[in-house]
Chain A
Amino acid sequence: MDTLRYGAIEARSPKYWALLIGLGLVAMIGVLSAHHMEVEGHVISGMNNQIVWGMPHVFAVFLIVAASGALNVASIASVFGKTEYKPLGRLSALLAIALLAGGLAVLVLDLGRPDRLIVAMTTYNFKSIFAWNILLYTGFFAIVGFYMWCMMDHAMQKFSKQAGLFAFIWRLVLTTGTGSIFGFLVARSAYDTAMLAPMFIMMSFAIGLAFYIIVMLASYQWSERPIGDLIVNRMRNLLGIFIAAVMYFVAVYHVTNLYATEHHAVEKFLLVDGGIFTQLFWYVQILLGGIVPLALIYAPQTRNCRRSLLAACALVLIGGMAHIYIIIVGGQAFPMEMFPGMEVSSSFFDGEVSAYTPSLWEILLGFGGIAITLLLVTVGVAILDFLPESLADNIVNYKK
């Protein structure tokens, strides 16, 4: 049988329930951590007046960036006409929504006053890039939800291509908006560049695809459904291109900064003597998150090995986290230049590199966000027909 059929996965096995309970527990711990920070105040977090965005924001931005990237898999079929990717579209939309929900949960729960989210949803300052992001995130849910409906309902399939195109454009704008939150911050030396928006788009391609591959391979492995090498290897190659593209953008970002004399100090800090940030940059972001995954993807010895692909994906995610940590925390740790050329001192850390040690609560909240994402996917694939019953090569090659 060469036809493509979708089906919900069997949700009765002890393995499925163990996964569900495990993810539920992590999510609950995350929510309880947020509650604890809310009750005790942000003073128990590692954040302070110098590092105003910390680990929860790193997790949140990571998941939000991954969300738009995860949707690319569906876009490759609907926008770029690659029919091999068509069977993967439904999961792509589900994962995109779940990732955004996880990321926003972390972001919202870490607000100084999460109970005032309703203010953010009802009162907009349209000059604020953050306000635009709120609209972009809300719109993403609606548009991807509609796109998912078009993919899953035969009666709606005639709108699928248009919905896919609109969702693709929306996701590009969304990631541009996320990158611009930082790009528009002219007060900080590490930002204030239009490069951040396209770099975030490229990061989303790599992180989102890596997340997708892990979820897809795990789902098929655990539900014991067949998945052929054809689609896996196509995604492997695509991931390699995305990783290389991210490294290109990182190089351009730093080279352009190095060209401008006013940014030499911050570049020296990030690339040479920034302590943990420099180490994270070279060892985690570049080596572990870039060079090693590229080697795992393209080395002839590991070319068809799924474990090596999974390892590459995991490393891309770790490297991506490090990249976002350096952008968010590293950019704030570098002292603001209020008196250019002067040596400044004060009793409150002026002229010094700001210290930040993430608290356990922040990290638990971040992992809670990832658990919420995976929980939504785990429940979703068991309730609705998101996954093809087979992704064997003959099914993937099937042309309607």
Chain B
Amino acid sequence: MRGIQTKKIKLTGFPPSATLAAVFRRAKEVLKQDNKIPIRMILLDHKKGCANLLVSFIYENEKK
């Protein structure tokens, strides 16, 4: 069973020169590593190598 969830995530370790596109690419990678399919991402803030995003994703729900 698949579901959709929305939550805030924090990403760290960006170089000061990181572009916004790089932040989104990294967020996608992080979610995909967790078997989540990102469907919507909004950047809340991005400073000092740290970014907060509100993300919505499809996940596999173990409850049947």
- B is a partner of A: no
Q: Which residues of B contact A (CB under 8 A)?
A: none
